[in-house]
Structure formats: C-alpha cells, structure tokens
Copies of this chain bind each other. A is one copy, B any other.
Amino acid sequence: MKVVTFGEIMLRLSTPDHKRIFQADSFDVTYGGAEANVAAFLAQMGLDSYFVTKLPNNPLGDAAAGHLRRFGVKTDYVARDGNRIGIYFLEIGASQRPSKVVYDRAHSAFSEAKREDFDWDKILDGAKWFHFSGITPPLGKELPFILEDALKVAKEKGVTVSCDLNYRARLWTKEEAQKVMIPFMEYVDVLIANEEDIEKVLGISIEGLDLKTGKLNRESYAKIAEEVTKKYNFKTVGITLRESVSATVNYWSVMVFENGEPHFSNRYEIHIVDRVGAGDSFAGALIYGSLMGFDPQKKAEFAAAASCLKHTIPGDFAVLSVEEIEKLASGATSGRVER
C-alpha cells in the first residue's frame, strides 16, 4: 500500500543529558521533520512509504537519505541538489525548563526546490494517500506551487489527502498562513491539528483553552471540529490534546471527529523522554487507522497510543510496531518488563 509524504527533513543536533547548547561538547545526530516523521511511522507499520523532498548532494544529504532508508522509508523520489541541508538544534528541557529549538533552515536545498524537481504524476502513481503539513509552504518561494501541483494530481488520481496544519509563528504570520492554507483545504480529506493551529491557520477560534496553564476543555474541541468539518467538508478531523504540566510531565489524549461525532481517546500521564515528533506519530497513526478501516474510536485509541509512545523514544522518528501500539491502546498501561 503506497503512501506519500512531502516536506523537509533536517539534520537534528541535540544536546545529550539535558545539557544546554552553551554547554555542549557533543551533539547527538539524527534527522527529522514533520512529514519525514510521518513517512517513517508509516514505513514501520509495514506500508510502502515514500518521502519526497530535496536534499543537497553532499555527505549530509546522503546521511539523511540513509537515515530514511534505515527506517524503511523509500527515497526514490528525493531530488538531490542545492547548497545545504536545513538544521535544527534541540535542547531537551526538563521540569520547568522548556525544550528549545534553534532553527537554521534558511537557504536549504528544500527551501530552494523548484516545481520541475518533482514529477507528481509518477510520484503519486498507485498511491493511496498523500500527506503534507503547514510547515512546508512557508519554507520556500515555490513550495506553495509545488504543493498545489501535488494536490491537484492527488485529486485527479483519487488519492486521499491529509494535512497537519502545524502552524509555526517563526515561519509566517496568521494572515500569510491563511492566504495559502485555506485554499488547500478543498483538497484535504483528513485534517490534523494541535491546539493552536485551527485558530491561526483557519481563523476559527477555540474558547476554553488556556495555553499558558495547559488546561483543556474537551467540549470546545468537539465544537470546533464540528465547525471546521461543516465548513470544509473533512471526512476526519484529528486533534491532539496536550496538557503541559511541565517539560517532564504531560497529559496526552486525542480526539477523532468523524461522522459528526467526537471520539476521545484514553488520557495518558506521560513522563517525557523526547516529545519531538509526537504529533507526527499521531498523524501517521491516524492515516494508518484510516487505511486499515478502523472505526473512529479505534482510530482515536490507536493514534493516541502511538503518539503517547513516541514521547518515550529518542529522536524524531518513532520506532514502534503495530503490536506494541495495539497493546497499549487495549489498556496495557502498566509498563511492566516484557521478557
């Protein structure tokens, strides 16, 4: 089952042992990015998962491609050219100290991608699913047009499309985001969002959410999902509900809105190892659940369990099997040693 995601993969340089960047004498090296993380997740579920991007023709580009392949992702459609790979530096916080990301992604090969770098007819041939996120369009001048190309071909070919809104204030303003993203919504079947995205990208505000304290109001989420579904006719809306107690402890649950009904998952108290990419595991698991024909509640539980588990795995990419996710989704939360 062929699935395709499109976006940027970056070199990720993180400090070990909760060190601050200022103190670091070494960086742990891995590679990641929103859509690449989804591709890696889907590859591990056993799907034929392709990640489409552009990487420079240097050892760092090679290493990023090798990293994708290691996790089972197919790199056949990766364009190779340009000057550099995007980088992000990561401090993993603890307790009251937030994790901190320093981006150094301007002028990357991907940001300078051209429409002719990607032959969507070929790329989406035989595909069942296409996924992208709201991080991608603001990264480069031609990227909104490349995405538009992809979405049109996807529609022609009957490929299901999912979009994770993923609003990043560093990359564009609300107004810019809305101008680009709202027209894309007509192509989108499955919408994925975390708590800030819907307000910023779709211009629909959520009441009952206080980002500062991390308190959530479940009903507000149901209402807003209903509203966006009405407006854009999504088949599914998936929303993650993160309650941040601290950088160490979070509560985590998800809502899948389908057929006019919200389906809330179990709520997990998580001691965090590495939360980067948890939202992408949610997206990946929701896609997987949709492709497998799970009912909405099972989708919610599966996607909540998958993304809960991602919090415990270092690196952007999850390393998980269907069995492991299903075991947690079925209620085995005790974390007892498996021998």
Contacts and interface: CB of A to CB of B under 8 A. Distances in A.
Interface stretch (A2-10, A65-73, A173-181, A197-205): A65-73
A333 interface: yes
Determine chain A's interface SS by DSSP, over half rule: loop
B213 A94 contact: no
Quick one: which of A20, A214, A244, A324 has the most chain B CB within 10 A?
A: A20
Interface stretch (A118-126, A150-158, A269-277, A288-296): A269-277
Contact of A331 (B212, B275, B333): B212
Contact of A269 (B20, B246, B268): B246
A66 B72 contact: yes
A312 B19 contact: no
Contacts of A235: none
Nearest to A169: B339
A227 interface: no
Given A246-B335, A333-B246, A67 B70 contact: yes
Interface residues of A, number: 87
B63 A21 contact: yes
A27 B335 CA distance: 22
A27 B91 CA distance: 15
A41 to B, nearest CB: 13
B22 A319 contact: yes
Interface of A: 13, 16-30, 58-60, 62-63, 66-67, 69-72, 83-84, 87, 89, 91, 93-104, 106-107, 168-170, 211-214, 244-249, 268-273, 275-276, 305, 308-309, 311-315, 319, 324, 328, 331-339
Given A27-B27, A95-B273, 11 more contacts: A21-B62, A24-B63, A26-B29, A69-B70, A87-B104, A94-B273, A96-B312, A98-B334, A212-B332, A244-B334, A244-B336
